[in-house]
Structure 1
Amino acid sequence: MTLETNYITAYADYFTNKIIEYSPVAISAFVILFVGLYAIRIINRFMRKLMVKQNLDPTLTKFLADILLWILRGLLFVTVIDKLGIGTTSFVTILATMGFAIGMSLQGSLSNFAGGILIILFKPFKVGDTIEAQGVMATVLEIQIFVTKLVTGNNQTIFVPNGALSNGTITNYSMQGTRRADLTIAISYGTDLKKAKDIITNVLSQDTKVLTTPVAEVSVKNLTDSAIQLAVRPWAKTEDYAAVVASTLENCKLAFDEAGIVFQPFVSELSNTKKPEQQ
């Protein structure tokens, strides 16, 4: 019983001495940790303000600030474990191996990550733009690192992976600021062509949302077996495009009705189709 008591006393003294010996190191490591976290917070906030003053894109600002935040946290973590006396060489090797394994299993996610970086850097579109890509036409709500968030005209939210988005064809309807509507109005051969064109031109000139520059175009597009097809091409601001298309068609119909001109209905062309031989 005396022997066991001596062992217990010896172990207690040993652990007490180790705690006393290690306490300054542990305290200094925790001080470095808390001071480092506070300093990282200040640095990150300062860099965000600096990038905002430089008029950087908000998405790019957030992305760079987040990358800086995690790099600084990683450096702080390595500093703290080194201060605690833990070997950083083997630890970094383990992290590198884990990173490689994770990277191999998340190739698709890494592709989306790289796509997000390309989109943010090269800016084929920005938040608020109307785009068509991957079979979807919608307005950009948010550009995230892995996906781009879109909203359609009927208020459906769509998430498109950045990898596929950056590698595919993107049509940006908002980048130029203006759009041309390509409409077709068909009239019969018995209609006064000049009168019809004058009516359409007058309708476009009275629409305040139709731009005067570039000038709207009204011309003969095609002569079919059943109708004269007129190309009506007004220009509008991107945000007014849908309204201009709707008002042009409606006002042309009302003006034609007043003038006694009838829209020629679509007729399937059969002139080049051989009739089956009768038995």
Structure 2
Amino acid sequence: MAGLLTGLDWLSEAASTTELKLAVSIVAVALVIAVLFSYRRLHTWICERTRPLYADVVSMSVLIAACLVSLAVVTGVWGRTEEVQRLSTNLGLDSDDVARAIVSFLLLVVTVIATRFVSRVVEGIFNSSAAVTAHQRKVTHRLSQVLIWAVSLVVVLGIWIEDLGSLLVGAGFLGIVLGMAARQTLGTVLAGFVLMFARPFEIGDWIEVEGDEGVVTDISIVNTQVRSFDGEYIMIPNDVIASGTVTNRSKRGRLRLEVEVGVDYGTDVDRAAALAKAAIDEVDEAMTAPAPRVVGKSFGDSAVVLGVRFWIDTPSARRYWNARTAAISAIKETFEDEDIKIPYPQRELTGRPEAGGFRVTDERGAISGDESSDHRMTTTTPEEQ
């Protein structure tokens, strides 16, 4: 290593002035920056002409070579080889340590290439199966990365540490302690794996969990992201989903909507239901099969409440609100054209005969109407109140 560093001394002699040294350093750094910016383009260009694995090896080799050359040029130009040798001596680094460092670095590079290769293999296998979801692909990809990196780090540690077994035993006890301290997090991660295999919902489904409702936009090992119909993003921990009740409203790619409308008690309910169904049939977003339905919901304080139910396909927040708004507008217009009253809230007051009923008085305090009536109302002016 000392001989390699000594061979860089001629760069300092070649660049005798500070301006020239600064220019050479800028060129060396610019080389690394240029390689970084053109890395993806180079990788794509090689992939188009050969296998992706070869492209990974070549592009990574070019990047590493550019970084090493730039570091060597900057070190030699500024005459820092002696300081590097002194530092190496102070740290007690010998040729074996340098060899181990080089092997460790190469192992990490091979690990990066291996993770990319395995990712492409997994993607190719899953693409041929329609039963595998995007969430399962993502989780499998992450698991393969964790497994490869774990094996690589164990090998690297084995190069530097002779008694690796005791270290692994200590790491095992540390893992137990951390697991007990992070039970909630581990439970959430395990619930993420359960969701991956149980598949109660997919990305794009309309779900309701513990009062939170919306469209699933992302599923990770830790949590599930849901976009509500108000445009808000809700992060639900997977352990909450695994231990709670999940309602999937769009499991079959469709969603049922219900609009409640009240009609006056003097209205023919069957006729009002038929008109409401005919109004929904004219809504573009409503599906024809299953057909819309109108059911009686309840006897309200001021009206008979009808539930107008219909379905929409490929549910989303935008289609939900558009369909609901169109349904309300269509029902209101139809009822207005057919003189069907949608009553305001109202109250019917009756007086008890033994209490004298209600009394209605004018502004002068005189009693109007039949004083002997059992049902009279007494009103007062704001000044009298």
TM-score normalised by L of structure 1: 0.78
Report the more deviating stretch, 22-31 or 139-148.
22-31
1:103-143 deviations in Å (ceiling 9; x for gaps): 11111110110111112221112222221112211222211
Displacement of 1:170: 0.9
Q: In structure 1, what is the Cα distance between the partners aligned to 2:209 and 2:288?
A: 30
Instruction: Tell me the equivalent position of 1:259.
Output: 338
The amino acid that maps onto 2:148 is L
Q: How does 1:63-78 map to 2 (within 5 A)?
A: 63-78=139-154
- Given that residues 130 and 173 in structure 1 are in contact (C-alpha distance below 8 angstroms), is that contact kept between their aligned partners in structure 2? yes
1:31-78 deviations in Å (ceiling 9; x for gaps): 444434433432233223332343422222121111111211221222
Say if 2:234 is the partner of 1:155. Answer: no
The amino acid that maps onto 2:120 is R
Q: In structure 1, what is the Cα distance between the partners aligned to 2:157 and 2:302?
A: 83
The amino acid that maps onto 1:48 is E
Say if 2:176 is the partner of 1:100. Answer: yes
Q: What is the DSSP-based 3-state SS (H/G/I as helix, E as strand, rest coil) of the residue aligned with 1:234?
A: strand
Say if 2:222 is the partner of 1:146. Answer: yes
Q: How does 1:1-279 map to 2 (within 5 A)?
A: 19-20=94-95, 27-28=102-103, 30-55=105-130, 56-84=132-160, 86-222=162-298, 227-237=303-313, 238-239=315-316, 240-267=319-346
- Given that residues 225 and 269 in structure 1 are in contact (C-alpha distance below 8 angstroms), is that contact kept between their aligned partners in structure 2? no
Larger radius of gyration: 2
* Gapped regions of structure 2 (runs ≥ 5): 1-89, 356-385
* Gapped regions of structure 1 (runs ≥ 5): 1-14
- Given that residues 214 and 226 in structure 2 are in contact (C-alpha distance below 8 angstroms), is that contact kept between their aligned partners in structure 1? yes
The structure-2 alpha-carbon separation of the partners of 1:210 and 1:268, relative to structure 1 and needing over 3 Å to count, comes to farther
- Deviation beyond 6 Å, 4+ runs, structure 1: 268-271
1:61-108 deviations in Å (ceiling 9; x for gaps): 121111111211221222233344622211211111111111111111
Displacement of 1:224: 5.9
The amino acid that maps onto 1:57 is T
Q: In structure 1, what is the Cα distance between the partners aligned to 2:251 and 2:342?
A: 35
Q: In structure 2, what is the Cα distance between the partners aligned to 1:160 and 1:225?
A: 38
- Given that residues 116 and 163 in structure 1 are in contact (C-alpha distance below 8 angstroms), is that contact kept between their aligned partners in structure 2? yes
Report the more deviating stretch, 33-42 or 118-127.
33-42
Q: In structure 1, what is the Cα distance between the partners aligned to 2:129 and 2:234?
A: 31
The structure-2 alpha-carbon separation of the partners of 1:185 and 1:34, relative to structure 1 and needing over 3 Å to count, comes to closer
CA RMSD of aligned residues (A): 3.1
- Given that residues 249 and 256 in structure 2 are in contact (C-alpha distance below 8 angstroms), is that contact kept between their aligned partners in structure 1? no
Report the more deviating stretch, 20-29 or 117-126.
20-29
The amino acid that maps onto 2:220 is Q
Q: In structure 1, what is the Cα distance between the partners aligned to 2:322 and 2:109?
A: 57
The amino acid that maps onto 2:243 is N
- Given that residues 186 and 265 in structure 1 are in contact (C-alpha distance below 8 angstroms), is that contact kept between their aligned partners in structure 2? no
The structure-2 alpha-carbon separation of the partners of 1:35 and 1:246, relative to structure 1 and needing over 3 Å to count, comes to closer
Q: In structure 1, what is the Cα distance between the partners aligned to 2:156 and 2:175?
A: 21
Displacement of 1:265: 3.3
The amino acid that maps onto 2:266 is G
- Given that residues 294 and 307 in structure 2 are in contact (C-alpha distance below 8 angstroms), is that contact kept between their aligned partners in structure 1? yes
Identify which of structures 1 and 2 has the higher relative contact order when contacts are C-alpha pairs closer than 8 Å and 6+ apart.
Answer: 1
The amino acid that maps onto 1:198 is A
The structure-2 alpha-carbon separation of the partners of 1:93 and 1:261, relative to structure 1 and needing over 3 Å to count, comes to same
The amino acid that maps onto 1:19 is D
Q: In structure 2, what is the Cα distance between the partners aligned to 1:216 and 1:102?
A: 55
Q: In structure 1, what is the Cα distance between the partners aligned to 2:127 and 2:244?
A: 30
- Given that residues 59 and 120 in structure 1 are in contact (C-alpha distance below 8 angstroms), is that contact kept between their aligned partners in structure 2? yes
Report the more deviating stretch, 88-97 or 229-238.
229-238
Report the more deviating stretch, 104-113 or 65-74.
65-74
Displacement of 1:174: 1.7
Q: In structure 2, what is the Cα distance between the partners aligned to 1:133 and 1:113?
A: 18
Displacement of 1:206: 2.1
Displacement of 1:154: 1.9
Displacement of 1:243: 3.1
